Chains A and B, each alone.
Chain A
């Protein structure tokens, strides 16, 4: 239990996927213009990350490892994640239309997102157990959601303001903001080791 909390805290705050590992930067910059869509995207990523880990961890440990073909990891994971997301999309559309409406447009975007692939591979490399892997993925997703929501809030304020100097308007100030937000997350470094000390 203690270990799971440490894993989640470290992946949400210290090793935040977007802000300190530079994964999933594309949706981070692309879908963060409005708070609503940022939240939708964040939730969709969390959902897919957890689901992808739940599917890929057994494949790695019960299929690839026993036959000694761990080198096919990337290929097989991409294949499995992509078809899994497609399947989830179809099922949601039929059975949970409300959830489909809020996540629907984002699901195809995430299919080949590097953050999703990264979390599944990271789980294997770190040698996590099944439960640890699931919570690591959940934490990575929540960290992504946190970064998205914080950044969307900042960005909406920036869009309203006309005080930004003309050469910095649009993408430049967005990137500067992202780097400052990322710097502020550096402040969490080392916090996890002290939690249970």
Chain B
């Protein structure tokens, strides 16, 4: 009969634990808002954090519980998702134009001069911290691929030591923008089809020495623009998109090819 007491003790401990847990689960039940679950189902579930919240769950609960949270904060889901969320919440949707990553540099290995022949597999971040990068230009793409590693969708690759974005695959999460230590990648709306693909603030002479395709601040585009939309600040041209009519005159006028018109490229292809 010695076995009875141990069996009883273990059984009673187990029973007490079971009862306590059951009661606690009933008493402490936290009701999850139905809307939160519905929205969570609509969200892509990439947990990339591009909306500014800590993952899809957090964004879903913020949408329901807090006021003034934008329904269009998720760049992965795009306009369709924004409408779906708005329908669940019963508010009008804000349409957001999808943004895609754009590389603001044309310094491929054909165009740019290198200071060092140092070809070890540094990361962009390490190279920037250590000696500012192996390129003559201090502002351009290093082509070491920190952005490639950051991209969860394989939408960016290095061609000729320059980062190139695959527009079809890019979902606009902006992780590459954060990963780039040179700030060469920018999230841009696709409708702004003309842009300056250079970040160099060096004077024209230095830029010219370093790279064949950089903006040298010559102001030819400023003169040719009829809408007064381009300005040159710190030796770098800048387009004011409120004034720009996308006429494309500046693209033709630019002698180094630093202004890019996406429409032209598409026609060629």
Contact = CB atoms under 8 A, between A and B. Distances in A.
A90 B10 contact: no
Nearest to B123: A162
B129 to A, nearest CB: 10
A80 B5 contact: no
A75 B9 CA distance: 12
A176 interface: no
Interface string A92-104: 0111000000000
Interface residues of chain B: helix, strand, loop or mixed (majority)? helix
A26 interface: no
A156 interface: no
Interface string B138-172: 00000000000000000000000000000000000
A63 interface: yes
B239 to A, nearest CB: 35
A90 B28 contact: yes
Interface residues of A, number: 22
A61 interface: no
Q: How large is the interface on B (under 10, 10 to 19, 20 to 34, 35 or more residues)?
A: 20 to 34
B20 interface: yes
A83 B25 CA distance: 12
Contacts of B10: 72, 75-76, 79
B24 to A, nearest CB: 5
A101 to B, nearest CB: 9
B24 A79 contact: no
A196 interface: no
A90 B121 CA distance: 49
Q: Which are the 8 A-B pairs with shortest beta-carbon distances?
A: A83-B17, A94-B28, A69-B6, A162-B121, A90-B28, A90-B24, A162-B123, A67-B5
Interface of B: 5-6, 9-10, 13-14, 17-18, 20-21, 24-25, 28-30, 120-123, 125-126
